[in-house]
Amino acid sequence: MVSLITFTALSLATSVYGHGYLVVPNSRTGLGHEASLDTCPECTILEPVEAWPDVVAAPVGRSGPCGYNARVSIDYNQPSENWGKTPVATYAPGDVVDVQWCVDANGDHGGMFSYRICQDQTIVDKFLDAAYLPTDEEKQAAEECFQKGTLNCTDVSGQDCGYNPDCASGEACYRNDWFTCNGFEGGDQTKCKGVDNAELNSCYTSIAGGYTVSKKIKIPDYSSDHTLLSLRWNSFQTGQVYLTCSDIAISGSGNGTTTPTNSTTGA
């Protein structure tokens, strides 16, 4: 009983602090903040779950691939007037794309993260309908599709795709298709902010100021007038997973390098 109380207390305590969300391309969470509806965009958290060392084991539940922010009671899996109506960025198949998320200075838990695109439009369409909120079962089915559509770090030629310093060979987290933060207990212990070594407040968080975490992904050979790019960050330190998504389009022909221009509205 004491252990249960302690675990619950720790879960509540950790949820107080800021964490992270997708900023490039602009996420539904970011648009929620810009619309003055989400006072803590970095607080879109799935907890408590088993986040480490198996980074794909935890079911997403209510969070889905786009995230649920319990602090402000916003479910980003359903479009609104302010997000999800149209893509914020357009890419071509084969493009190498700059992507970036923002980690709060007071909630940098280390770990690993992945970008994903589900290539089943029937599944994705459930998350593009402003009149419909996907069920938990549909959210999990979507998560499984997004996991199948993981955009590997190693798909980008020349990109540094190392192994996480807090993960030992033979553990489920010992993989370099996902992106890794720097060490939390191992390595240089600079955690996720060490990826860019950017200045404090290089991106917005509401708690303690944010640091950018930048990488590149390669857009798959797939076309869609409106689909989703989902970010999943698994914490090393805590039993937490962070899920956010951006509305994008994939069309034309590419094989170039693209820096997205973000829309600042959901319309």
Domain boundaries defined on the chain:
18-251
pLDDT at 253: 76
Give the residue among 181, 177, 182 at the shortest CA–CA distance from 155: 177
Instruction: Compute the mean pLDDT over every residue in the chain, rounded to the nearest whole number.
Output: 91
Query: How would CATH label the architecture of 18-251?
Result: Distorted Sandwich (2.70)
Sign of CA dihedral 87, 142, 214, 238: positive
Give the residue among 151, 150, 147 at the shortest CA–CA distance from 217: 151
Task: Decide if pLDDT at 243 tops 80.
Answer: yes
pLDDT tens-place string over residues 33-90: 999 999 999 999 999 999 999 999 999 999 999 999 999 999 999 999 999 999 999 9
Give the residue among 258, 263, 109, 73 at the shortest CA–CA distance from 194: 109
pLDDT tens-place string over residues 146-177: 999 999 999 999 999 999 999 999 999 999 99
Q: Would you say 78 and 65 are in contact if contact means Cβ atoms under 8 Å apart?
A: no
In this prediction, residue 252 has a pLDDT band, given cuts at 50, 70 and 90, of confident
Side-chain-side CA neighbours of residue 215 (13 Å): 31
